[in-house]
């Protein structure tokens, strides 16, 4: 087994020791920011002897980071900062994250480590099919690929034909792409009768939005690649936080750079080992903007056991949903991924769907528009109605509410080039 960075194979003891030393240094640095000097007022930093004391620190939430906009989280003077990313999410209130030159370097190294882990080498050509600009999946992945030494193509999104031409002409071995766009690209190849195995691409890094194992398998099939799950968030730099290894069984969180905890989203207390909860992350290396116990709102769990790849950094399960994604219909708590999981188990279903929450006769209901694959759409009415009923029944078994299913033509649902929007809430909010 080959590793990019010796830290990948540190023992648990070595990792815990590094975490303790780095947490204390992070605390000292954080206290230089206006935000943490207020938040931690009255706290004696000596109370934090090591990583095991982390729960003595308060949480930091997205609202905290928003309220600190633009400068209150900066732990170094402006002249030391070289990069700013802003993530607006769905509400539009900005979250700003600033990086020093060292921060950009360590981020690139973490990213290069992820890419090397899944078999990308410096003689591979890499095409980054992701939005450049404020989205961290552009520059973050780009710097990682260059750090590894790959010839790196900043292709951006859109213009699918030019993307394909570049893939072929440059003999691209690996790409980075958002799952929803990967499905679109795959559908286009199929429409045009292109055998994906005739393309040079071996590896796809997919991430930035929640997706199920079924979607991964579809992407692997449609593009003729191995697809690896890439997890990150702007507040923790962006990509390079947790990443799948060749085993494709959970994502290693880089514990020399972050402390990960999983807590009950309601109480904030740690969940029992292996239980699902909200991921909470602390930066250990970042200088420009240290973040302590950041509530990611992402739901996952630690996977048990050691990984065959030799890395001792703990693995998390693929993101199982977001605390904010949950919606309640007729008293049932529902996550969109539960629905996706079932939809994708039907071979007739295409890559796109839209969950609409609406009201009919003063009752909430779920309507799901489901794209059907070209070859099935020509089926007779009776077959389609049967499919509709089967999908509705399987979803009702899972979420306990019967949805209305609309089967729609291939490519008729809106497609985003960035992160896909899967749920539209059309219910009247009575004030």
Residues that bind ligand AMP (CB under 6 A): 87, 89, 136, 207-210, 229-234, 296, 298, 319, 322
Out of Zn ion, ligand AMP, none, which partner does residue 124 contact, by CB within 5 to 8 A per kind? none
Out of Zn ion, ligand AMP, none, which partner does residue 229 contact, by CB within 5 to 8 A per kind? ligand AMP
Out of Zn ion, ligand AMP, none, which partner does residue 179 contact, by CB within 5 to 8 A per kind? none
Give the residue with the Cβ less far from Zn ion, 130 or 251.
251
Out of Zn ion, ligand AMP, none, which partner does residue 234 contact, by CB within 5 to 8 A per kind? ligand AMP
- Piece of the chain touching Zn ion by CB under 5 A; list 71-79, 203-211, 264-272, 302-310: 302-310
Give the residue with the Cβ less far from ligand AMP, 314 or 391.
314
Give the residue with the Cβ less far from ligand AMP, 65 or 199.
65
Out of ligand AMP, Zn ion, none, which partner does residue 157 contact, by CB within 5 to 8 A per kind? none
Out of Zn ion, ligand AMP, none, which partner does residue 309 contact, by CB within 5 to 8 A per kind? Zn ion
Minimum distance of ligand AMP from residue 255's CB (angstroms): 18
Out of ligand AMP, Zn ion, none, which partner does residue 196 contact, by CB within 5 to 8 A per kind? none
Distance set, CA 418 to CA 136, 159, 161 (Å): 12, 13, 18
Q: How far apart are CA 393 and CA 209, in angstroms?
A: 27
Minimum distance of ligand AMP from residue 37's CB (angstroms): 25
Minimum distance of ligand AMP from residue 186's CB (angstroms): 18
Minimum distance of Zn ion from residue 313's CB (angstroms): 8
Minimum distance of ligand AMP from residue 309's CB (angstroms): 18
Tokens matching residue 13:
């003891």
Q: How many residues bind Zn ion (CB under 5 A)?
A: 5
* Phi and psi, residue 258, nearest 5°: -145, 150
Tokens matching residue 64:
């905290």
Give the residue with the Cβ less far from ligand AMP, 20 or 229.
229
In the block, which residue shows the tokens 């539209």?
424
- Piece of the chain touching Zn ion by CB under 5 A; list 207-215, 287-295, 309-317, 356-364: 309-317
Out of ligand AMP, Zn ion, none, which partner does residue 278 contact, by CB within 5 to 8 A per kind? none
Q: How far apart are CA 204 and CA 302, in angstroms?
A: 24
Does 309 engage in binding with Zn ion (CB under 5 A)? Answer: yes
Out of Zn ion, ligand AMP, none, which partner does residue 287 contact, by CB within 5 to 8 A per kind? none
* Phi and psi, residue 322, nearest 5°: -120, 145
Minimum distance of Zn ion from residue 309's CB (angstroms): 3
Minimum distance of ligand AMP from residue 324's CB (angstroms): 9
Give the residue with the Cβ less far from ligand AMP, 157 or 229.
229
Binding residues among 205-264 for Zn ion as defined by CB under 5 A: 245, 247
Minimum distance of ligand AMP from residue 279's CB (angstroms): 8
Does 86 engage in binding with Zn ion (CB under 5 A)? Answer: no
Q: Decide if 338 contacts 299 (C-beta within 8 A).
A: no
Q: Decide if 424 contacts 193 (C-beta within 8 A).
A: no
Q: Which of 54, 134, 170, 307 binds Zn ion (CB under 5 A)?
A: 307
Q: Which residues bind Zn ion (CB under 5 A)?
A: 245, 247, 307, 309, 311
């Amino acid at each position: 087994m080959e590793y990019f960075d010796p830290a990948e194979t540190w023992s648990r003891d070595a990792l815990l020791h590094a975490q303790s030393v780095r947490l204390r240094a992070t605390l000292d640095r954080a206290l230089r920011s206006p935000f943490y000097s207020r938040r931690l007022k009255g706290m004696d930093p000596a109370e934090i002897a090591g990583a095991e004391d982390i729960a003595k620190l308060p949480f930091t939430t997205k609202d905290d980071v928003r309220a600190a906009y633009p400068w209150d989280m900066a732990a170094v003077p402006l002249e030391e900062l070289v990069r700013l990313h802003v993530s607006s999410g769905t509400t539009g209130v900005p979250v700003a994250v600033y990086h020093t030159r060292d921060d950009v370097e360590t981020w690139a190294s973490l990213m290069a480590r992820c890419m090397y882990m899944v078999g990308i080498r410096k003689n591979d050509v890499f095409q980054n099919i992701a939005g450049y600009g404020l989205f961290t999946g552009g520059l973050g992945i780009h710097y990682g690929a260059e750090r590894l030494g790959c010839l790196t193509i900043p292709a951006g999104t859109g213009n699918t034909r030019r993307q394909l031409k570049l893939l072929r002409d440059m003999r691209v071995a690996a790409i980075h792409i958002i799952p929803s766009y990967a499905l679109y690209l795959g559908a286009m190849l199929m429409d045009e009768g292109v055998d994906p195995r005739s393309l040079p691409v071996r590896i796809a890094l997919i991430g930035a939005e929640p997706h199920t194992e079924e979607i991964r398998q579809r992407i692997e099939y449609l593009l003729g690649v191995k697809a690896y799950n890439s997890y990150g968030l702007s507040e923790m730099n962006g990509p390079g936080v947790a990443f799948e290894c060749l085993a494709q069984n959970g994502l290693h969180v880089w514990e020399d750079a972050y402390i990960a905890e999983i807590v009950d989203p309601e109480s904030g207390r740690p969940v029992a080992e292996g239980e699902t909860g909200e991921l909470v992350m602390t930066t250990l290396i970042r200088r420009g903007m240290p973040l302590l116990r950041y509530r990611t709102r992402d739901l996952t769990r630690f996977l048990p056991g050691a990984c065959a790849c030799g890395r001792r950094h703990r693995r998390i399960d693929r993101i199982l949903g977001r605390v904010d994604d949950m919606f309640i219909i007729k008293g049932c708590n529902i996550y969109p991924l539960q629905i996706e999981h079932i939809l994708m188990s039907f071979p007739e279903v295409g890559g796109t769907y839209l969950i609409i929450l609406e009201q009919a006769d003063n009752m909430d209901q779920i309507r799901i528009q489901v794209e059907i694959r070209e070859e099935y759409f020509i089926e007779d009415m009776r077959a389609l109605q049967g499919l509709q009923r089967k999908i509705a029944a399987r979803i009702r078994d899972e979420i306990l509410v019967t949805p209305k299913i609309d089967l729609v033509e291939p490519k008729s649902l809106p497609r985003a080039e960035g992160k896909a929007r899967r749920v539209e809430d059309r219910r009247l909010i009575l004030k």
